[in-house]
Structure 1
Amino acid sequence: MMTPLWLDTPGFPLPLADMLLAGTLGRDHLLRAAAMAQAAGETAPDNADWPRLRRQLLAAALEEDPLYGPTAGALAQALRAAPPGRINPAFSAQVEALAARFRPPESVAYYERLLAASNPGRIEAYLENEIRNGRAALFWLHIALHRAVLGRDFDRAAALAGLALAGELTPLGHKVAGDLALLRGDSPAALAAYDAAEALAPWPAGLFRRPLAALAAGREDVAAKALAALLRDFPEHVSAGLALYDLISGRRRGLGRLASDLCVALYTFNKADDLDKTLASLFASDFSRVDGTVRTLLLDNASGDATPDVVAAWTDRVGIDRLAAIRVPVNVGAPAARNWLASDDRLAEAAHVAYLDDDVDLPVDWIARLAAAAEAYPEAGVWGCRVLDAVNPAIAQGVDVMLLPPDQGQEEPQLSGLHAQGFDFGGFAHLRPCLTVMGCCHLFRRERLLGTGGFDIRFSPSQYDDVDHDWRLALAGTPPVYQGHLAVAHRRPAPALVRPRPDQLAGGQANWQKLAAKHAGRYAAMAAALRQATTSDLRRKYEVLAQVGPRLDAGF
């Protein structure tokens, strides 16, 4: 008998289902889903579950960004309409206090002038003064904490939070302290802070970040019970369901093997220092997980720096049988470089191909992690990973991207960007099908790499050629699979840290328009294929969780 899911409910809107299947993270993503739940409730006012879902989505949005006043205001209103006894009074009081105390300033013009002047010292002094003086303190604290986490100045962040989150906001202060500790890497402190927050003002379904902190601290028993309890109260929390399944099934720690030869292919242009570091991490990898030979094929896109010297030094170090280089006379761009590598006879000898960027830091077990994904989903067209910023690992640059329904007034669907709406607390560490993965570290079976026609050179010099290739794989019935338990550091700074140059922005926007035009008319088929893949995957996982449910109740 098929295990029913929340989306099997008669009349459950497909756009809302697609939003939830994409994940239950990201403040703006969750606020949009809550608005959809509210609209569904207005269409079916006799269904008491829509207000419950809206309340929980709003609470999840507040967990994602706990100092955002508009979320607190909407949640406070929703809680007032909740049936008696459904919500802990202390939590309601906390939300009401936050909503009442969050007041935007009359003007932010002076702050904008400070930003334009690019004087960090004056900016930080101004923010601290505004927080201390209590004039729109929570508004300015919201900005100051974001800046502090971007700069990884967690001591300053904690000190500023302590200035404003006391008294009636003490439970929220514990919640924010947990967030800062988790991002800093102190998971035991994070778990203790979340426990303190929950003891004073329990959230409607519990904090999702509490089991994430428990996982990071090695407390899998605590994490399993907390995730199971959260899902009982909030079954639509897809991210929690994915985390619980990967914990129970062992996929969270799973390592696999490639049963045949592997060719590692990468291309480079004028990044000698980055390339040297990338090759160092590559040749420190655990190649014992490959039952065959491993060869690296490197294409130098006519670099004018010391790249040829770096390539020569590494070839001498590891041998030409392990590292073969190609140097082309001009920079052919990313898609043509990928195709050039794919057409090389030496790559044709391998059953698997891993494409890497020239500015990544690979963990030792990256092959074993991708092999585990290939073993779990052998039908996939490509297996990718979670990509973190090398300078600030709290910033996720790439996760599992999904297709979202068009926003009001738009014709084209959107690509999900949940990771760009906040920091990475561990909620993207799961394994599942998706629409596209970030192309700086991904694994193919060679015949599937070549079977979709290669990478489209119309996306030269770079950007979206890998997305286009993934979309074609999804339409062909072999969707990408995301291995979120493999985190690869990317040394190209995230836009949150370094603003892209105007030419980079223009090139990206132009290539996005090419991508949208190329696939116009295919979005409905793509959305249906993705929905089928993700729903079937989630259903299988929930069937397993339903079978082990009593075991969780008794203690994992």
Structure 2
Amino acid sequence: MAQSAENVQPTGIAGEMFALSLDEACLYYKNYLNNFQVDLPLAVNFISRVSGEPGASRSPVVRPILEQAVKSAVNLAPLDPDVLQIGLNSGLAPGAEVVLKIIQATHVEHETFKEMRKAPFKQFHADLRRACIAVLGKHPMAVRFADMLLSLDLFAGTPPCEPLSRFNCPKALRLIWDKRLFDHFATLGHDEAAWPLWERLKSQINEPIALARAAEMHRRAGQTEAAVALYERAFDLDPWQRPYALRAKALRHPFVLDAGLLTAKNVCVYLYSYNKATILGETLESLAATDIGPARIKVLLNGCTDDSAAVVAKARGLFPNNDFEIIELPVNIGAPAARNWLLSQPTTRECDYVAFLDDDIYLQPDWLSHMLTVAESDPKIGNVGCKVVFPGTYQLLQYLYRHVSFCTEEAIRASIPVPYMQYDIGLYDVIRETRVVMGCQHLLRVASLADAPWFDIRYSPSQIDDTDHDLQLCLAGWKVMYCGTVTCVHRQNSGTSLRSKLDIPAQGSIMGNDVKFHYKWLERMDEMRRLDSLSLNT
């Protein structure tokens, strides 16, 4: 489960939905479901958007989409009074009235809770945890504080904390709470704790979100047929959710890589770095533990003033069978220019593919075979990216794929790259066409560079240049592919994701790049609008 309805982050999705017409907002919502499993911010913001349009809920076009959003919100936040009231008002939440009464009867310290709901989890996580634990210590039946504490644990990527074991759940809510616990463990992929709950609850669970998580539990247990059946059942219940259908198909027809491509194709592996000596060394150690065949390696040190040069020189010995070159620049020229410098090397034109790797990642041992197999499946594939996760015992999804979600004279934006607060349990282990993949690990076909030869230096020092380059490829007729059978662990310290560390000046730089992006593509707005998600029905 995600945060409570009041604790969602509304700026991106909400802002875009309310800037669109109702028809466009519906398309936005359907595009999201075409890419990702539904999450609470999406559902709540869509409900708010429809509610702000008089009579919209009675439209035969809007009504079925709205019902999907309401049912999803209730399933994701079954103990949130605001969400339950929406379900009750719409007639889509049987039994909600009884649950609401119990929640209200057990609620305490109303003003404290009201203030806590306003506090973002990212900035105030520790303070909110302490407050919830303190209240539960005094009031063991405080449902809303227990519910928030469980959500805080999910946000942190941990199993339910010990104080939650002392929560005295009202008997009439025991089934709902057990479902919350199952959802928590299954979302993390903590199968040992999830299985007993599933065995006890499975006859009473008919919610597509929970069924999809149970499907991956069965898949990890080697029960592929059961996993497919659960996904198909989930898709029957919610046919808007295309990821369920794609995952069922992938399980029925597993991806087969061609390891022979490592020697059949010429590949260059390019890295660039600025003052991350220790992390860069660890990334090179990770690369050395993977199978890259005879690929050539070039490391560009972008005006480094730390020990990066010595670290990379030492790492050269990890690659006895690969041509390994170090390029040292006297100043930091930024990420886009560093990419261009590497692409300008004579070896680029001698290769079939160029792989770009960030300096702060851990790689899957057979990553290059997977990406080459996808790239070689269609000569029009210009770029292949992968699934990107944060480090941790339970790995939070960081980046999957994007399309153009918003395109007006006021703003042009790519969609968000990942669903809110979903962990890597296997749902996105699929191969699919998209518009944008993350630049921390991707494979470019050299032939495609004839149509998009450079990364735009207007986006220096970093951010959006990789998004912009993928869109250049798409507009030139090339395909961008997501290879979900490859997982990249990215120790991201930039960007705007839930676990990134971003100071105010860096936020300003990204906002500035958003403006540059808009004005660069404004004259090609009609073409950009066509780069949506629903046109990708592969």
Task: Name the TM tier (shorter chain).
Answer: 0.7 to 0.9
Query: Secondary structure of the equivalent of 1:324?
Result: strand
Which of 495, 504, 510 is 2:506 aligned to? 504
**What amino acid sits opposite 2:41 in the alignment?**
D
Residue 60 of structure 1 aligns with which residue?
72
Length-normalised TM-score, structure 2: 0.82
Structure 1 CA distance for aligned equivalents of residues 49 and 346 of structure 2: 52
Shift in Å, 1:312: 0.9
- Residue 227 of structure 1, CA deviation: 1.1
Task: Look up the match of 2:19.
Answer: none
Is 2:26 the counterpart of 1:26?
no
Unaligned residue ranges in structure 2 (runs of 5+): 1-22
Counterpart residue number, 1:309 = 310
* Post-superposition offset of 1:454: 0.7
Supply the distance in 2 between the matched residues of 1:360 and 1:332 (Cα, whole angstroms): 21
Q: How does 1:135-534 map to 2 (within 5 A)?
A: 137-156=142-161, 159-160=163-164, 163=167, 165-200=169-204, 202-203=206-207, 207-251=211-255, 258=261, 259-288=264-293, 293-319=294-320, 321-391=322-392, 393-405=394-406, 411-417=410-416, 419=418, 421-426=420-425, 427-493=427-493, 495-531=497-533, 533-534=535-536
Q: Percent identity?
A: 23
Secondary structure of 2:211's match?
coil
Aligned residues of 2:186 and 2:214 also touching (Cα < 8 A): no
Alignment CA distance shift 1:188-1:386 (3 Å):
same
Which residue of 2 is the match for residue 72 of structure 1?
84
Q: Which amino acid is the alignment partner of residue 431 of structure 1?
A: I
Return the alpha-carbon distance in structure 1 between the equivalents of residues 24 and 312 of structure 2: 59
- Secondary structure of the 2:95 match is helix
8 A Cα contact 1:31 1:57, kept in partner: yes
Distance 1:215 1:38, change over 3 A: farther
Which amino acid letter does the alignment assign opposite residue 457 of structure 1? I
Distance 1:51 1:196 in 2: 34
* Contact 1:105–1:136 (CA under 8 A) maintained in structure 2: no
Separation (CA, whole Å) in 2 of partners of 1:154 and 1:148: 6
CA RMSD, Structure 1 to Structure 2 (Å): 3.7
Q: How many residues align structurally?
A: 507
* Native 8 Å contact 1:400 1:434 kept in 2: yes
Deviations 1:98-139 (A, max 9, x none): 5862769324587599999x9987653421132355599444
The CA deviation string for residues 73-107 of structure 1, in whole angstroms up to 9 with x for no partner, is 222333x2x6xxxxxxxx72268515862769324
Post-superposition Cα deviations, 1:165-219, rounded to whole Å, max 9, x if no partner, equal 5522222222222233235543253244245344345337863322133223332
Q: Which residue of 2 aligns with 1:544?
A: none
Report the AA paired with residue 302 of structure 2: N
Per-residue deviation, 1:163: 1.4
Cα gap change, 1:237 to 1:112, in 2 (>3 Å): closer
Q: Which ranges of structure 1 fall in alignment gaps of 5 or more residues? A: 1-9, 83-90, 538-556
Change (3 A) 1:166 1:266: farther
Q: Secondary structure at the match of 1:346?
A: helix
| SS of residue in 1 equivalent to 2:380 | coil
**Tell me, what secondary structure is at the counterpart of 1:208?**
helix
Q: TM-score, normalised by structure 1?
A: 0.80
For the residues of structure 2 that align with 1:285 and 1:430, how far apart are their CA atoms? 21
Distance, in Å, in 1 between the alignment partners of 2:321 and 2:330 is 21
Partner deviation per Cα, 1:228-268 (whole Å, 9 max, x = no partner): 122223221112112112112213x6566534111100101
Deviation at 1:513, TM superposition (A): 1.3
Farther off after superposition, 496-505 or 351-360 = 496-505
| Residue type of the alignment partner of 1:60 | S
Per-residue CA deviation, residues 285-304 of structure 1 (Å, 9 max, x unaligned), is: 1235xxxx311111011211
For the structure 1 residues 121 and 346, does the alpha-carbon distance in structure 2 shift closer, same or farther, using more than 3 Å as the test?
A: closer
SS of equivalent residue, structure 2 residue 463: coil
Moved more, 107-116 or 453-462: 107-116
Q: Could you tell which deviates more after superposition, 123-132 or 513-522? A: 123-132
Letter in 2 for 1:55: E
Distance in 2, matches of 1:51 and 1:456, equals: 43
Residue identity opposite 1:335 in structure 2: P
Any idea what SS the aligned residue of 1:316 has?
helix
1:6-25 equivalence runs, <5 A: 14-25=27-38
SS in 1 for 2:270: strand
**CA distance in 1: counterparts of 2:530 and 2:458, whole angstroms:** 27
